[in-house]
Structure 1
Amino acid sequence: MWSFLGLLVLCSLVSPSQGGPKGFSHGILSIVSPATARKYVSSIFLRHELLQSHFLAIQFPDVPHKDKHPENWIKELHVVRVFTPSVSLELYEKVDSLVCIKTRFHLSGKFFFGKHFERIDIILDVDIKAEVRFDSYFAGGFHIRMQVCKSEFAIARIICPSHLLVNKVRPTVTTILAASFHKTVCTAVEVVINVSGVDFLHTANVFFSVGTVATMQYQLASLPLITSNYVALEFNMIIRTGGRYITLPVGAGSVSLPVLHHHGFCLGMSQASLDAILMVLIQIRVQEFISTPEVFSAASELTTAIASLLSHQKCPKCPLKAPLKITISLVGIRRIILEPKRAVIELSVEIALLAKGPSGSLVGLFVMKANLKLSVHASVFGGRLFFTTKLASLELLLVSSQVGPVNVSVLVKLMKLLIAETFVPQVNECLDVGIPLPPVLHIRWNYPAIHFTQGMLALCV
């Protein structure tokens, strides 16, 4: 039995003063407070009256009283109504947890009063405790077993044709319920646990489309980790793009989450996992354009700067007034640097400058490499994580030159403006697809707190 209760079995109180788990290597993990876990269990048990519907389906056998006398016969005993149950958890350190259910049943049946059967109604207070244990992780799921189930009932009221007959009915009802109530009620609870397990797996093992470039899958990576203060879940991430698969972790280092504080749930994504995602998301074709004011606001200044820079070369290829042709190519890896309270995306581009030669054909001048650092603003909307970037700094290097040595450092200011106007918008367009977030425990990603820590981005609600 795969179940979300495997997670909940593990939970123990999360202290606001305690930090998150350390030493994880899967790169994507979450921690859950016991209060959030309890709320989830209760909501699943009671959603669409799941628990009540299984209790209502209980049928008690038609069994005569032990002395076989027909006047003690009761038949067609069944559940008419289940009052809204209260569902809670008692959480333990290791692998056990106690699901506690309190409710009230309205039973109805027919009792033989000597000459004929008359309807009787029974109001029953019910207390159920089911001890559950999880094990056997496999391929994103695990088994959950109901180890022990105990049930107690107390007859609150019996309604008969005459109140004088209550004392006659009570012993028979008590005997029948003592013989069959425990088994039927615990069977219903076990079924609900199994049904609820499917729900949890649907929230933890999920597929998403990432625009048109990839599909992404979150999958439970192991059994939950339990401490005295939190329960943690690790995830694998599988990205499919262009017919190939990227599986995380890919040698991700040890990561840790910040404290929960007043939050009930935190999801952490390591630097390594975000690097892999950015490599997929940021796919930009080579940009080629003629440097005109309509495309680049400082086109004239750039043409003048290049002419001035190369005039001492006395090169017939060097532009004087003709606009330049520029190509910008994304090269190398894309990586994000996560530090306390800030994040920076690092990537590199090659900028090639071409000009018309004496024959009118385009001739390459030189190629520069620009190492970019983009400051990152993170936000969450519609269950997706979005990054918006701005150019923070640029390092300019000469890669090759057709016109001899060139001092490209004098072009840094113009290149920063060029990249900010032409390339950074392309990066933001790629990132506008967003990174899907797993809806673990049906968490709603409405205005989460976003924390940048060393090597980790954490989202807490």
Structure 2
Amino acid sequence: MTMLKLFGIIIFCGLLWPSQGVLSGLSCAVSPAAVQNVLLNAIVRSGLLHQQVQSLVLPNIMSEGGLLNSPTIITGLHLVKIRVPDLSVTLSGIGVQINIAAKLELSGNCLVGLLSELINILVDVRIAANIKCTNFESGTVQVVVEDCLCVIGGMKIKVLSGLLSLSVNAAVLSHLKGTLPGLLCPVLDIVLNIVNIQLLSTLNVVIPVGTVGTIHYQLASLPFTAGSFLGLDLDGVVKQVGGGIIPHDSSPSALPPLLDKLMVLGVGESFLTAGVSLLLQVPARTFACTPAVCSACGGTSPLSLKLTLSGSPLILLEENKATVKLSVLIHVFIKRADGSILSILLLRADLSLNARLSLSGVRLVLGLSLGRISLFLESSDVGITDVSTLKPHCSSLLGEMFLPLANAALRPGIPLPKVLDIPLVKVEIRLQLGQVLIFVSGEDGASRSALSTPLS
């Protein structure tokens, strides 16, 4: 059976790459297969299209008949079922084209002469429309439907008696061609505006980051098409509890080809640094320097140690490598009986930590391990000037006492938005210069099975 196309939709959502300099926490490239499944879920599987069309009641149909035929009157004609056996998406330089094939099953009462019975009509419908995303403001866009064209195709009519003449068939088809376009185009407008609101809610969202703050994601510019993907750039505002915003400098990221992936997310280096800065709030820790506390401390000692995170961390992303740079102050002191402090050493340890990135649900999680350490003497009340021999001891101290605290602080992870409600399943994380790439493969066969799902 030849399938007709119900929707021919072209979304002109910005035809150029966003201007450089726009704040962007996350860049996304979404494949046609993923866009297809998103719209299938939003329009068909959700029952939205069926719900909006089912409320339609068509005007009565009257066929005068002829010399040998009684007049035929069809009343109460309404939608019973929508059959959607095919949906496809193609991307081009001018937007996104969506094609859905469908049949409408209509039912009503048929009066032929004095005989009344149920009539069932199955009709192919094709609607073509241009949809533009306009009026971008504060992370929102407006959907405008233009040039809606509705075409009625083949039709089958069924009554129990089978008494309908060819002239009645022709009258019914003519009636549907005259009435359905004026009913279905406004429905299309309603459906797409509801879908726009639903999908924008996945792009404009405030997500808590543990108990330390939030990240507010929203569209940074109009969606756009480039090559074979739909592009979305999101602004990510990283805010501490209490309202302070952690700034980050970034611009839209250049993303690699999708190939067979459903979606790729690009998380910029500067934005990632802001997220880690929000999470990595390690309070200063003071403890006695004993072997029970740290292997670097030997024997009984009056010494106390205080570890303090100094400044903000910095993340460097390179090919297949992520490094977190931060500084920790190591204060070695003695607390006298009178309560005064004798500062033996105040050291600054500049750490270059190896970072392993993983995805837990919809959160990007970093795990740190010791890399390189540089040690600098800040001050000493007892005249110490050479600290070169202390490097191994400080390395052990930081590995045993500071790193567990840092990893515990990072454990909640940096939350990511669920872009267009696309599940982050079967993901692969790659590191390249300046950004983290998250490739999403999705469930095998999800898009293929979606194409043949009927809605009843």
TM-score range, shorter chain: 0.7 to 0.9
Is residue 264 from structure 1 mapped to residue 262 from structure 2 by the alignment? yes
Aligned to 1:187: 186
Q: Distance in 2 between matches of 1:108 and 1:65?
A: 17
1:358 Cα deviation (Å)? 9.1
Q: Distance in 2 between matches of 1:451 and 1:283?
A: 27
Q: Distance in 1 between matches of 2:264 and 2:163?
A: 60
Whether the 8 Å contact between 1:7 and 1:224 is mirrored in structure 2 is no
Change over 3 Å in CA distance of 1:70–1:188 after alignment to 2: farther
Aligned to 1:423: 402
Number of equivalent positions: 429
Aligned to 1:131: 130
Change over 3 Å in CA distance of 1:36–1:382 after alignment to 2: same
Aligned to 1:458: 437
Aligned to 2:34: 36
Whether the 8 Å contact between 1:89 and 1:99 is mirrored in structure 2 is yes
Whether the 8 Å contact between 1:368 and 1:400 is mirrored in structure 2 is yes
| 1:232-381 equivalent positions in 2, closer than 5 A | 232-246=231-245, 250-252=248-250, 255-300=253-298, 322-355=301-334, 362-381=341-360
Q: What SS is found at the alignment partner of 1:73? A: strand
Q: Distance in 2 between matches of 1:37 and 1:402?
A: 66
Deviates more, 1:291-300 or 1:415-424: 291-300
Q: Which amino acid aligns with 2:356?
A: H
Deviates more, 1:348-357 or 1:423-432: 348-357
Change over 3 Å in CA distance of 1:328–1:460 after alignment to 2: same
Change over 3 Å in CA distance of 1:404–1:194 after alignment to 2: same
Change over 3 Å in CA distance of 1:411–1:175 after alignment to 2: same
Deviates more, 1:407-416 or 1:256-265: 256-265
What runs of 5+ residues in structure 2 fail to find an aligned partner? 1-7, 441-456
Q: What SS is found at the alignment partner of 2:250? A: coil
Q: Distance in 1 between matches of 2:159 and 2:301?
A: 104
Q: CA RMSD in A?
A: 2.8
Q: Distance in 2 between matches of 1:24 and 1:30?
A: 17
Is residue 384 from structure 1 mapped to residue 363 from structure 2 by the alignment? yes
Q: Which amino acid aligns with 2:114?
A: K
Q: Which amino acid aligns with 1:384?
A: R
Aligned to 2:102: 103
Change over 3 Å in CA distance of 1:82–1:242 after alignment to 2: closer
Aligned to 1:158: 157
Q: Distance in 2 between matches of 1:137 and 1:254?
A: 17
Q: Percent identity?
A: 29
Q: Distance in 1 between matches of 2:190 and 2:338?
A: 83
Please identify which structure carries the higher helix content: 1
Aligned to 1:58: 56
What runs of 5+ residues in structure 1 fail to find an aligned partner? 13-19, 304-320
Q: Distance in 2 between matches of 1:23 and 1:107?
A: 52
1:23 Cα deviation (Å)? 5.3
1:435 Cα deviation (Å)? 0.7
Change over 3 Å in CA distance of 1:356–1:159 after alignment to 2: closer
Deviates more, 1:445-454 or 1:64-73: 64-73
Aligned to 1:17: none
1:254 Cα deviation (Å)? 6.5
Deviates more, 1:273-282 or 1:419-428: 273-282
> For each residue in 1:136-155, what CA deviation from the matched residue of structure 2 results, as whole angstroms up to 9, or x when unmatched?
11111111111122222234
1:331 Cα deviation (Å)? 0.8
Is residue 441 from structure 1 mapped to residue 428 from structure 2 by the alignment? no
Q: Which amino acid aligns with 1:79?
A: L
1:77 Cα deviation (Å)? 1.3
TM-score by length of 1: 0.85
Aligned to 2:448: none
Aligned to 1:172: 171
The structure with more radius of gyration = 1
Q: Distance in 1 between matches of 2:211 and 2:336?
A: 41
1:75 Cα deviation (Å)? 1.6
1:165 Cα deviation (Å)? 2.3
Q: What SS is found at the alignment partner of 2:185? A: helix
Q: Which amino acid aligns with 1:216?
A: I
Whether the 8 Å contact between 1:380 and 1:386 is mirrored in structure 2 is yes
Q: Which amino acid aligns with 1:33?
A: S
Q: Distance in 1 between matches of 2:246 and 2:114?
A: 75
Whether the 8 Å contact between 2:89 and 2:97 is mirrored in structure 1 is yes
1:231 Cα deviation (Å)? 2.5
Q: Distance in 2 between matches of 1:232 and 1:167?
A: 51
